[in-house]
C-alpha cells in the first residue's frame, strides 16, 4: 500500500498549484535606508517638508504573488522633524500630533492589489491620534536581491494623502493646507 501512495503523492505535488511563499523583511531604519516623509502647503505659498526620524516595521513580499504581501509599521510621533525646533514643538502639541497622549501611530495593511509593472495599491488601517481610518498607498517595487553583506533586500516607494480633519487635526492652516502628502521610502532586510 505504501508503494501505491508514493506515486499518488508525487503526482498531486506536480499537478496541484503550490502555495506562494512570501519572504519576511525588517525595515532597515538602523542604517537609514528607509524614511517617512511629509509635505503640506504653507498658506498656499510654499511647501513645508519634514519627516519622522523614529519608526520600525516589517513586511512580507512574494514577487510571484504580490497580493499576499503584508506591511506593519509603528511611528514614534514625537520624532517629527520639520527642521525647525519651535515648529516641531508645535507639531508635537495637542493642536497637531498630541504626542503625550498619542505617542505612536501605526499602519497595518489589510490588502494589496497589484496594478502591473511592479506597482500596487496597498490598503490598510492607519491609526493616528487615536483615530483609525483606511488609507491606500500607491506603491512601486524599486528592486531587490542579494546585498554585499550576504543578505537579501527588497525596496519600495509609496505615496498617499491624508485629510488632517479625519484624524482630529483641526488647526487652521488655511484652505490650501487641509491635506498632507506622505512619501514612503522602504528598504527591507530579509529575516
In a domain, 1, yes or no: no
For residue 2, what pLDDT band results from cuts at 50, 70 and 90? very low
In a domain, 11, yes or no: no
In a domain, 77, yes or no: yes
In a domain, 5, yes or no: no
Q: Judge contact between 57 and 73, C-beta under 8 A.
A: yes
pLDDT at residue number 98: 98
Q: How many domains does the chain have?
A: 1
Residue 131, pLDDT above cutoff 70? yes
pLDDT tens string 65-80: 999 999 999 999 999 9
In a domain, 37, yes or no: yes
pLDDT at residue number 21: 75
Provide the domain limits for residue 159.
20-190
Residue 13, pLDDT above cutoff 80? no
Q: How far is it, in rounded angstroms, from Cα 74 to Cα 70?
A: 14
Q: What percent of the chain has pLDDT over 90?
A: 84
Residue 94, pLDDT above cutoff 90? yes
- DSSP per-residue letters across 78-114: GGEE-S-HHHHHHHHSTTTT-TTT--EEEEEEEEEEE
CATH code, domain with 165: 2.40.128.110
In a domain, 175, yes or no: yes
In a domain, 39, yes or no: yes
pLDDT at residue number 18: 43
pLDDT tens string 132-181: 999 999 999 999 999 999 999 999 999 999 999 999 999 998 889 999 99
Amino acid at each position: 500500500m505504501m508503494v501505491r501512495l508514493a506515486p499518488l503523492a508525487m503526482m498531486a505535488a506536480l499537478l496541484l498549484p503550490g502555495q506562494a511563499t512570501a519572504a519576511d523583511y525588517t525595515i532597515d531604519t538602523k542604517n537609514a535606508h528607509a524614511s517617512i516623509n511629509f509635505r503640506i502647503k504653507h498658506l498656499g505659498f510654499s511647501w513645508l517638508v519634514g519627516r519622522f526620524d523614529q519608526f520600525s516595521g516589517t513586511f512580507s513580499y512574494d514577487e510571484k504573488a504580490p497580493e499576499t504581501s503584508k506591511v506593519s509599521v509603528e511611528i514614534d510621533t514625537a520624532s517629527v522633524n520639520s527642521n525647525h525646533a519651535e515648529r516641531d514643538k508645535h507639531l508635537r502639541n495637542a493642536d497637531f500630533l498630541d504626542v503625550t497622549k498619542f505617542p505612536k501611530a501605526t499602519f497595518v495593511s489589510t490588502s494589496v492589489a497589484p496594478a502591473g509593472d511592479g506597482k500596487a495599491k496597498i490598503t490598510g488601517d492607519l491609526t493616528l491620534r487615536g483615530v483609525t481610518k483606511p488609507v491606500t498607498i500607491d506603491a512601486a517595487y524599486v528592486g531587490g536581491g542579494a546585498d554585499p553583506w550576504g543578505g537579501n533586500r527588497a525596496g519600495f516607494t509609496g505615496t498617499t494623502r491624508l485629510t488632517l480633519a479625519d484624524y482630529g487635526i483641526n488647526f487652521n492652516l488655511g484652505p490650501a493646507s487641509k491635506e498632507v502628502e506622505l512619501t514612503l521610502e522602504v528598504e527591507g532586510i530579509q529575516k
